[in-house]
Amino acid sequence: MVRQSGNTPRTIRFYEEVGLIRPRGRTQGGHRLYEPRELEKLQLITDLRLAGFSLEEIRVVFGLKRATADAKRASQQMMQLLNDKLEDLKRRLAALIQLKEEFAGTMSVLQNACAECKQPPGQELCSSCAEVDHGNLPRTLRWVWHLD
């Protein structure tokens, strides 16, 4: 289960604690035994976690059919959940891309200014460098490049 799912033993035991999976039984020495069905369930749980589902939401997923007693509505709710998570990941990705562009864009320009710099590199010098308009740096770069 550990190797096939990429989780730690502790994580698998924790999923059992909260009632998501369950071993078929135990070996005489106390080691847990699982059916292939449980491995598949664990892998689905792992993928749902990666996709941003909380354990509570995963519990909802596994209870959708029971809760609605109507496969069509259950499927629609599942799609709703998936789309919500997709929106969330897209927002995160957009934030990251913007940070990267903000940062990378001006970085190359500054690298040139530094390459031509006659002063030895140092914190005080760079933060007061006349070649660089610190006030106009994008915020990301300002906080990495600048002091405090």
Q: Are 52 and 88 in contact (CB under 8 A)?
A: yes
Between 127 and 143, CB nearer to DNA: 143
Q: Which does 85 bind (CB under 5 to 8 A by kind): DNA, its own copies, none?
A: its own copies
Query: Least distance to its own copies from the beta carbon of 4, Å?
Result: 13
- CA–CA separation, 92 and 29 (whole Å): 46
Query: Least distance to DNA from the beta carbon of 60, Å?
Result: 11
Q: Are 138 and 105 in contact (CB under 8 A)?
A: yes
Closest CA to 7 of 139, 117, 125, 38: 38
Work out which of 6, 13, 63, 131 binds DNA, going by CB under 7 A: 13
- Coil vs helix vs strand at 32: strand
Site map 30..69 versus DNA, x via CB under 7 A: xxx----------------x----xxx-------------
CB neighbourhood size of 42 (10 A): 23
Site residues for DNA per CB under 7 A: 2, 8-11, 13-15, 18, 27-32, 49, 54-56
